[in-house]
Amino acid sequence: MGQDPDDMFGDENYPAYTIGQAAEMLGTTQDFLRRLDEAKLINPHRSTGGHRRYSRYQLRLAARAREMVDEGLALEAACRIIILEDQLEEALRQNRDQQHGTRRGD
């Protein structure tokens, strides 16, 4: 049996949006989203028919890339910056989690 729809759409990583929906929501082109995939910023889920499906998390990354490109940054540079920011945020989160775990164990 499948997931409850409320659980799926509440999950920011659930691939709920088609490339057309994503492009419309972001005010960009489908080609721009394909280029983000090529630049390895986002890796959309593929449906059984091979169509790209995007999550809300991926749309946030794409929106950030669009802002940076609109400000004049090259697409590849924007993607690299966003990837590094994302990695830093994850490392800081893991560090906080470790520190909280260590304090509880003292």
Task: Convert the pLDDT of each residue in 64-92 to its tens digit.
Answer: 999 999 999 999 999 999 999 999 999 99
Give the dihedral sign, CA 75/76/82/83.
Answer: positive
pTM for this model (two decimals): 0.79
Domain residue extents for the chain: 5-105
Fold held by 5-105: Multidrug-efflux Transporter Regulator; Chain: A; Domain 2 (1.10.1660)
- How far apart, in whole angstroms, are the C-alpha atoms of residue 16 and residue 19? 10
Please report which helix (H) or strand (E) contains residue 40, including its range. Answer: none
Helices 75-105 and 56-70 pack at an angle, to 10 degrees, of 130
Read off the DSSP letter of residue 41: S
Q: What is the mean pLDDT of residues 52-62?
A: 95
Residues 6+ apart with CB under 8 A from 73: 81
DSSP, res 39: T
